[in-house]
Amino acid sequence: MKKVISSLLITVALFATLKQAEASQPQAMFTIAIDGPTQVAPGTPVKIVVRLKNTSDRELSVDTFYVEGLDTFFIYDVRDQAGKPVPKRKRAEAGGLRTRTLKAGETLEEGILISREFQMNQPGQYSIQLFRSVPEDASNQAIASNKLVVTVTP
For the chain, the DSSP string reads -HHHHHHHHHHHHHHHHHHHHHHHSPPPSEEEEEE--SEE-TT---EEEEEEEE-SSS-EEEEEEEETTEETTSEEEEE-TTSPBPPBPP--S--EEEEEEE-TT-EEEEEEEGGGTB---SSEEEEEEEEEEPTT-TT--EEE---EEEEE--
75 vs 62: CA distance, rounded Å = 15
79 vs 85: CA distance, rounded Å = 4
The answer, yes or no, to whether residue 14 has pLDDT greater than 50, is no
Mean pLDDT, rounded, for 77-102: 87
**Tens of pLDDT along 45-72?**
999 999 999 999 999 888 888 787 788 8
The answer, yes or no, to whether residue 12 has pLDDT greater than 70, is no
Question: What per-residue confidence (pLDDT) applies to 27?
Answer: 67
Q: Which residues pair with 27 in a beta bridge?
A: none
Mean pLDDT, rounded, for 29-49: 95
Question: What per-residue confidence (pLDDT) applies to 61?
Answer: 87
Q: What is the pTM of this model?
A: 0.77
**Structural domains in the chain?**
27-152 (2.60.40.2970)
**Tens of pLDDT along 103-137?**
999 999 999 999 989 999 899 999 999 999 876 66
